[in-house]
Amino acid sequence: MKVRKFLIALIAFFGVIGVVSTNQVDAASINSLAKKYQYSGVTYLYKMLKLEGIKYNEFPGVEYQNGKPEGIVVHETDDPGATAHDEAIYFNREWNKINAYVNAFVDSKQIIQMCSPNVGTWGAGQQANNRFIQIELCEESSRDAFAKSVNNEAIYIAKLLHRYDLKPDNACDDGDGTIWSHKAVSAFLGGTDHVDPDGY
Ligand SMILES: [Zn+2]
């Protein structure tokens, strides 16, 4: 099944990050742990804010150069202790002051979609914002929660690739493909100098 193949490739991608950054976690065990969890599903920002009585500060969206996304850029928040909910509230309020926005925040409990993936955001500089969907993985403090968040992110990304008829292809080694890290954008496309999510 197509979606299943996407998942395997994506979970392997995140698993590899795990190995590089800690030298303790091996990709295979994170993969098998991640696959045990259920997908948390998508929470839409505007609905969440309505329930909480917070004003939705709508992001205008960036038009994709090809009319649709060409892939995904994976980020990591570098904000220990901040949940997807915390990040969503903050970015909703501050995006026009900090000049940053992404399509979604993911943690072990949920995926908060900030705006439609049909539009680009301000996640990784001019060379990437009008080409790719931008997704931030939130920092978790336990191995279990990390695996849950990776599972959520992998399934969410697989669904997006499927929706836009994109084949999973890791761009991090050669600057060509549908699955990018922010670091790979910095290295191959420029316009930004961040190196996440590799450190995490
Ligand atoms: Zn980033």
All structural domains of the chain, each given as residue ranges with its CATH number in brackets, are 2-188 (3.40.80.10)
φ, ψ of residue 22 in degrees (nearest 5): -115, -20
Distances (CA, A) of 174 to 65, 77, 108, 126, 142: 21, 24, 30, 20, 32
When pLDDT is cut at 50, 70 and 90, the band that residue 14 belongs to is low
Tokens 């979970």 belong to which residue?
11
How much distance in Å is there from the Cα of 30 to the middle of ligand 1?
22
How much distance in Å is there from the Cα of 123 to the middle of ligand 1?
6
φ, ψ of residue 20 in degrees (nearest 5): -65, -40
How much distance in Å is there from the Cα of 197 to the middle of ligand 1?
7
| Residues with Cβ within 8 Å of residue 117, at least 6 apart in sequence | 69, 103, 104, 133, 160, 163, 164
How much distance in Å is there from the Cα of 124 to the middle of ligand 1?
6
Quick: pLDDT tens for 53-75: 999 999 999 999 999 999 999 99
How much distance in Å is there from the Cα of 56 to the middle of ligand 1?
23
Identify the pLDDT of residue 23.
45
How much distance in Å is there from the Cα of 85 to the middle of ligand 1?
18
Q: 160, 72 in Cβ contact below 8 A?
A: yes
